[in-house]
Amino acid sequence: MSSDFHDDTALQAPPIAFDNSYARLPPQFFAEQAPTPVSAPKLIKFNEVLARELGLDVDALRLDAAAIFSGNELLPGSQPLAMAYAGHQFGNFVPQLGDGRAILLGEVKDRNGRRRDIQLKGPGPTPFSRRGDGRAALGPVMREYIVSEAMYALGIPTTRALAAVTTGQPVYREEVLPGAVFTRVAASHIRVGTFQFFAARGDTESLKVLADHVIARHYPEIRDRANPYLSLLEAVADRQASLIARWLHVGFIHGVMNTDNMTVSGETIDFGPCAFMDAYDPATVFSSIDRNGRYAYANQPGIGQWNLARLGETLIPLIDPSADTAIDLANTIIKAYGERFQAYWLAGMRAKIGLASEEDGDLDLIQSLLAIMQQQSADFTLVFRRLASLAADEDVSDFAASFQEAQSVTPWLERWRERLVRDPQTPAARAVAMRRVNPAFIPRNHRIEQAIQAAVDDSDFSLFEALLEVLARPYEDQPAFAPYAEPPLPTERVLQTFCGT
């Protein structure tokens, strides 16, 4: 017998190849914290497509997915930690928040060489839990899975859903609910509130370490500029202007745009009481905790600017030795954000109504349509999808049916057709282009609630699976799922959504 025997399992690469840059930062950036085991984890969903994109060993993960994605089994190379951050919550500053029910397992480099975080939500308490249980209920986990994957399919920068499991243990909120753990993937989990954490403590040294880390990770192209920290503020402002414009293009309302829920990477994060608008109304609010409408649909661009001003405040000592000079430089960027947002929003709205060229009257044309939609309680998504069909068809009946009074939109249609004469696209090309930016399917609030109730009440995940299937192709006509494109009946309307804590 040969004496050269070796154990192949000992040499086998782990299913997730962690490389944890955040864990290499100074200890004041986080608290080391392992997940708390649960009694009976059961896999709900494993996003194998995303796992392959991340370069993970899907076959190996599939064998033990419930244990791994519940936090019961820690893989080699994982360095679990809870991140420290502060934040303005509904305008009120809280100097210490941190990951109270989230644990960063570690980071991977995906197949394109991009660094991505893998984080558990709901794996138990951390030093930042503030007497909370650190757990998540099944409903919020399902909501985040559905909406984050829908946002990705819509082409909007977002965190992603890698997995969801039930824990076999209850969580206690206003009622007893089944517990669950969500596995989130992000470009990073660094927030405006992360900068605020160190600024509130006057820790300029840590601020610089954080800013340098963010530049290296997210904005390496600005590293060698004359003033990289001012360039960082400008880069974050640009990404936020683009992101929030895209939210408005699909009727999305985040619900809790606190500074601890705004990433510096420019991804949508924290899908708590978020929702998509049905009938168009710029004052729409769904979040049960947003009692004064601070984060209403139309307020989101302004809140984005307010949050950026808070980021700018933290960067003052890095931008220039003179505070007055630094403030002037930062204010120039904060003020320019409004123009950036307007440019992104208007470009997207031009595309939604089928314009490839630009004219001075386009803004008024768009605003006129939105005003009619508001007056007529027209469904935001259906109006633009049906307008896309109308671009290559003279039959206005379906489009007009979107309005309570069909004739109310006739004068606008005449203006629109007159404008299209001066646009270079052919009708067929225009219709195709409009369908690429006007979804047929969004995560309708009532559909999400139906899927959650079926799962919570009967452990039935069939509606959850169906919703994920249709939302994976939001810009395609899917006759088999036609009812999912329809707005809710009056008895199905969801008027409030709730935070998952």
pLDDT 10s digits, 188-243: 999 999 999 999 999 999 999 999 999 999 999 999 999 999 999 999 999 999 99
CA separation for the pair 358, 466 (Å, rounded): 40
For a pLDDT cut of 70, what percent of the chain falls above it?
97
Q: Judge if 130 and 204 occupy the same domain.
A: no
Q: Flag whether pLDDT at 21 surpasses 80.
A: yes
Q: 311 and 327 in contact (C-beta within 8 Å)? A: no
Q: Flag whether pLDDT at 385 surpasses 80.
A: yes
Q: Flag whether pLDDT at 354 surpasses 70.
A: yes
260 flagged as catalytic: yes
Residue 209 is predicted with a pLDDT of 98
CA separation for the pair 365, 419 (Å, rounded): 9
CA 19 to chain CA centroid, Å, is 24
448: which 2 tokens? 């999400």
pLDDT 10s digits, 109-155: 999 999 999 999 999 999 999 989 999 999 999 999 999 999 999 99
- Return the C-alpha torsion angle 58, 63, 67, 69, nearest 10: 20
Residue 12 is predicted with a pLDDT of 75
Q: Residue length, the chain?
A: 501
Q: Judge if 166 and 219 occupy the same domain.
A: no
Last residue of a domain, one of 120, 153, 186: 186
Q: Judge if 310 and 284 occupy the same domain.
A: yes
Residue 4 is predicted with a pLDDT of 44
β-bridge mates for residue 93, sequence order: 88
Q: 121 and 271 in contact (C-beta within 8 Å)? A: no
Last residue of a domain, one of 170, 186, 202: 186
Residue 501 is predicted with a pLDDT of 55
CA separation for the pair 94, 87 (Å, rounded): 6
Q: Judge if 328 and 242 occupy the same domain.
A: yes
71, 450, 472 from 152: Cα distances, Å: 25, 22, 8
498: which 2 tokens? 């709730």
Mean pLDDT along residues 304-316: 98
CA separation for the pair 465, 444 (Å, rounded): 15
CA separation for the pair 338, 461 (Å, rounded): 43
Do the domain assignments include residue 337?
A: yes
Q: Flag whether pLDDT at 8 surpasses 70.
A: no
Do the domain assignments include residue 198?
A: yes
Q: 171 and 179 in contact (C-beta within 8 Å)? A: yes
Q: Lowest mean pLDDT of 36-40, 258-262, 489-493, name the range.
A: 489-493
Residue 195 is predicted with a pLDDT of 98
Number of domains, the chain: 2
Q: Judge if 221 and 264 occupy the same domain.
A: yes
CA 313 to chain CA centroid, Å, is 25
> Pick the residue with more confidence: 290 or 102?
102
136: which 2 tokens? 């998540």
Q: Judge if 342 and 272 occupy the same domain.
A: yes
Residue with the two structure tokens 């036609």: 482
Residue 423 is predicted with a pLDDT of 96
Q: Judge if 98 and 216 occupy the same domain.
A: no
> Pick the residue with more confidence: 272 or 384?
384
Last residue of a domain, one of 325, 351, 377: 351
322: left (phi over 0), alpha (psi -120 to 50) or beta: beta
Do the domain assignments include residue 430?
A: no
- The secondary structure of 279-331, three-state, reads ECCCCCCCECCCCCCCCCHHHHHHHHHHHHHHHHHHHHHHHCCCHHHHHHHHH
Residue 230 is predicted with a pLDDT of 98
Confidence of residue 393 (pLDDT cuts 50, 70, 90): confident
CA separation for the pair 440, 430 (Å, rounded): 16
CA separation for the pair 283, 274 (Å, rounded): 14
Do the domain assignments include residue 382?
A: no
279: which 2 tokens? 């009938």
- DSSP code per residue over 323-334: HHHHHHHHHHHH
Residue 272, C-beta contacts closer than 8 angstroms, at least 6 positions apart? 140, 255, 256, 287, 497, 498, 499, 500, 501
Do the domain assignments include residue 94?
A: yes
CA separation for the pair 210, 217 (Å, rounded): 10
CA separation for the pair 175, 454 (Å, rounded): 17
For 191, the 3-state DSSP assignment is: strand
Q: 51 and 162 in contact (C-beta within 8 Å)? A: yes
Q: Judge if 164 and 36 occupy the same domain.
A: yes
Residue 251 is predicted with a pLDDT of 98
Find the catalytic residue in 117, 260, 290, 379: 260
Q: Judge if 172 and 217 occupy the same domain.
A: no
CA separation for the pair 308, 418 (Å, rounded): 40
Q: Flag whether pLDDT at 336 surpasses 70.
A: yes
- Mean pLDDT for all residues in the chain: 95
Confidence of residue 395 (pLDDT cuts 50, 70, 90): confident
Confidence of residue 174 (pLDDT cuts 50, 70, 90): confident
Residue 11 is predicted with a pLDDT of 57
Residue 205, C-beta contacts closer than 8 angstroms, at least 6 positions apart? none
20: left (phi over 0), alpha (psi -120 to 50) or beta: beta
Residue with the two structure tokens 């804590």: 501
CA separation for the pair 149, 328 (Å, rounded): 40
- Structural domain for 309, as ranges: 192-351
* CA 271, 277, 281, 286 torsion-angle sign: negative
CA 191 to chain CA centroid, Å, is 13
Q: Judge if 47 and 167 occupy the same domain.
A: yes
CA 288 to chain CA centroid, Å, is 19
Do the domain assignments include residue 165?
A: yes
CA separation for the pair 314, 210 (Å, rounded): 11
Q: Judge if 197 and 286 occupy the same domain.
A: yes
CA separation for the pair 319, 88 (Å, rounded): 22
- DSSP code per residue over 440-467: S----HHHHHHHHHHHHHH---HHHHHH
Q: 66 and 180 in contact (C-beta within 8 Å)? A: no
Q: Judge if 182 and 196 occupy the same domain.
A: no
Do the domain assignments include residue 87?
A: yes
349: which 2 tokens? 């709205």
CA separation for the pair 240, 80 (Å, rounded): 29
Do the domain assignments include residue 491?
A: no
